[in-house]
Structure 1
Amino acid sequence: MIEDMLRTPAAVQDAERHTAHNYHPLPVVISSAEGAWVTDVDGKRYLDCLAGYSALNFGHRHPTLIAAAHAQLDKLTLTSRAFIHDQFADFCRELAALCGKDLVLPMNTGAEAVETGIKVARKWGYQVKGVPAGQANIVVAEGNFHGRTTTIVSFSTDSDARADFGPYTPGFRIVPYGDLDALTEAIDEHTVAVLLEPIQGEQGVVVPPEDYLPGVRRLCTERNVLFIADEIQSGLGRTGTTFACEQEGVVPDMYLLGKALGGGIVPVSAVAADSDVLGVLQPGQHGSTFGGNPLACAVATEVVRLLATGEFQRRSAELGERLQAGLRDLIGKGLVEVRGRGLWAGLDIDPALMSGREACERLMERGVLAKDTHGSTIRLAPPLVITEEEIDHAVAQVAAVLAG
């Protein structure tokens, strides 16, 4: 902690006084935002290179999305799924088309989407594959981050996320990420799904070997196992394609989506799969009071339409090359390794220089917001509306921090 840098404002102290300390935020108090920039209570502007962990792929207050929210607020915000509202069909139809799947099941948070995927996979295993009752298992990867519910942390390998929250939910097998041989050995006749992030975000934007996802797809097909892709952070344009799986020419059986689907305005998540998978659910077996509500659907439909143009995927691919090249030039100048795809990068800083937290504090002082993870690693994930000049500015600030 650098004392002169961190004269914590009163608003930060007040927030910490009345809030459970489940986060350790940087000491900045944001009051307004637009595009790729946020402004704090003192009027200082910052380039947002976290984008709400990809929830703000389209930037802060995208005018099309804000207009959709305003229009819907004047009409209808909630009915519950006990009734059908006039925004529901468009959202489900257009998202299903974007995913190339038959059906969509809307929820709210990413963790809810993951929980939904787990339940659907197990039910599919019992009803379709013929797994004996109570024997279904799902194979997951070390270093995963799929959320923080008690079931999900049961198969986490992050001690901070998992420790002291037991007893844990059984039914999961953990194998090294990127290791096809280990995955092959873990699958048996009772395996119903392989649940993976195409790129592990929380772990530090870890990209698997080129043959990994295609190998997972082949293996799941051969063994009659569902391939579930958690694209909650990696999907919806972040990596330069609509889904990160597309980078490897892979189509999973089920997409888990969230974050950017709500346009940075409302929490929206969804599970997308074909009818032979999602069709196993019947009324009363799964649901959500707020899932698929009119406000969420109105905003998320516009998100899908923005993605349908391909503009944001192209921006991420083209500008991502600039970001990745600029960061790679810093290897050996304070950076040990750079990983990433599109506008998403994990930077391993030489631990002899500073921790990831200290780097983010120094970047904050220079007007760039980022997030650390796992020691000396930081992540950059700017909104897809960022410009070339803003990318160059962010890279320059990283270089300045590394140079001391």
Structure 2
Amino acid sequence: MPSRLAERLAQHTPGAHAKKTFFVNSGAEAVENAVKIARAHTGRRVVAALDHAFHGRTSLTMAMNHRVAPYGTSFGPFAPDVQRVPNSYPIRDGLTGAQAAARTIEYLEQRIGTADLAAIIAEPIQGEGGFVVPADGYPPALQEWATQNGVVFIADEIQAGLGRTGTWFASEFFNLVPDLVLTAKGIADGLPLAGITGRAEIMDSAHPGGLGGTFGGNPVSIAAAHAVLDLLETGAPFAQAARIERTLTDGLQSLAQKHVVIGYIRGYGAMIAFELLEPGTTIPLAGLASQIAAHAAKRGVLLLTAGSYGNVIRFLPSLAVTNEQIEVALEVIGEALAAYNVA
């Protein structure tokens, strides 16, 4: 039942406050409805998204993405009242979480202003942006500022949530308690379902009939989501994610000792990435990631490239992937680096 699933999401999302959930079909639809709810609650219009973010391919979410190409190319004009602000990207900015938060907050206050700001939306660990993990202290500092200024803080957990990082939600790594939490992707194991779970007083802000949809929360998807939560509640997927993290990071660190272009390994659980950099610098090594992926594809290994500079290889495997399969992928990556004469 949808009501029981809402109760379970309220139990497992961060925070002990009263919560409500609205079910829709996709991640982008969850983002759009979260923005509607935040605007209704605050009476304000502007939404702030972080640099290197990705939130979807609909009209509104295209405007929220960091990269225009390929997601927004030829599809404009884009929705107004969306502003992008600096994020925390430790390998690039060299800032502590407090310093990065101060920079973001200064931008919010000076370039946008609190009078018109309805919401800040953030992926606790950015997905398409290259699995960017913010410096410790950054997300809760933004949350604290948002609360003090009546701004709704939205955590886009569509990719990182529900076991992917070895916890229920990636927000937990940062002691972050968002006002609204967005779920999709793995919530129904591939069936169309997404949710907005948030503080009851915020969720109640939309007027009757303002939120809705023909197929949101359909019974088959709801049943699948209950099965997913049943499995997560055993704790087994979290253990699998931890195993994958150990195997991947150990293997990548070994590769990095041989190939100095592997400049930055990051992530949690089954959400791990490495960034390719000019040796001894933080300059993105453009083009090599796609070459590695092309080489791997010829060997039967499918890799995802990512990052705003196209220099990241990301691993987003099934939690059922074996250590042996991971070792094969790492071996193929090593072959690719050697084939392109990369030290």
8 A Cα contact 2:286 2:311, kept in partner: no
More helix as a share of residues: 2
Corresponding residue number in structure 1 for 2:300:
367
8 A Cα contact 1:113 1:269, kept in partner: yes
8 A Cα contact 1:95 1:301, kept in partner: no
Report how far residue 211 of structure 1 moved: 1.7
Corresponding residue number in structure 2 for 1:403:
338
Corresponding residue number in structure 1 for 2:173:
247
Map 1:92-241 → 2, pairs under 5 A = 92-99=6-13, 102-126=19-43, 135-160=44-69, 161-178=71-88, 179-185=100-106, 186-187=108-109, 188-241=114-167
Corresponding residue number in structure 1 for 2:95:
none
> 5+ residue gaps in structure 1?
1-86, 127-134
For residues 287 and 57 of structure 2, what CA distance do their matches in structure 1 show?
28
What is the TM-score with the length of structure 1 in the denominator? 0.72
Report how far residue 235 of structure 1 moved: 0.7
Structure 1 residue matching 2:321: 3-state secondary structure: coil
Corresponding residue number in structure 1 for 2:273:
346
Structure 2 residue matching 1:148: 3-state secondary structure: coil
For residue 103 of structure 1, what is the amino acid of its counterpart?
Answer: K
For residue 301 of structure 1, what is the amino acid of its counterpart?
Answer: H
For residues 137 and 282 of structure 1, what CA distance do their matches in structure 2 show?
20
Q: Which 4+ runs in 1 deviate beyond 3 A?
A: 349-354
Structure 2 residue matching 1:378: 3-state secondary structure: strand
For residues 182 and 350 of structure 1, what CA distance do their matches in structure 2 show?
25
8 A Cα contact 1:233 1:258, kept in partner: yes
2:311 to 355, 360, 376: 376
Moved more, 245-254 or 385-394: 385-394
Corresponding residue number in structure 1 for 2:204:
279
Aligned alpha-carbon RMSD (Å):
2.0
Identity %: 33
> 5+ residue gaps in structure 2?
89-99, 279-284
Structure 1 residue matching 2:10: 3-state secondary structure: helix
For residues 240 and 30 of structure 2, what CA distance do their matches in structure 1 show?
27
For residue 343 of structure 1, what is the amino acid of its counterpart?
Answer: A
For residues 268 and 385 of structure 1, what CA distance do their matches in structure 2 show?
22
What is the TM-score with the length of structure 2 in the denominator? 0.84
For residue 340 of structure 1, what is the amino acid of its counterpart?
Answer: G
Corresponding residue number in structure 2 for 1:88:
2
Structure 1 residue matching 2:147: 3-state secondary structure: helix
Report how far residue 190 of structure 1 moved: 2.5
After superposition, give the CA deviation of every residue in 1:345-394 in whole Å (9 maximum; x if it has no partner): 22223577953222112112222211123433221111112233332232
Corresponding residue number in structure 1 for 2:91:
none
Report how far residue 195 of structure 1 moved: 0.4
For residue 156 of structure 2, what is the amino acid of its counterpart?
Answer: D
Q: How many pairs does the alignment contain? A: 309
For residues 250 and 271 of structure 1, what CA distance do their matches in structure 2 show?
16
8 A Cα contact 2:180 2:197, kept in partner: yes
For residue 166 of structure 1, what is the amino acid of its counterpart?
Answer: G
Distance 1:92 1:357, change over 3 A: same
8 A Cα contact 1:241 1:317, kept in partner: no
After superposition, give the CA deviation of every residue in 1:112-168 in whole Å (9 maximum; x if it has no partner): 000011000000112xxxxxxxx4222211111000111111232312123433222
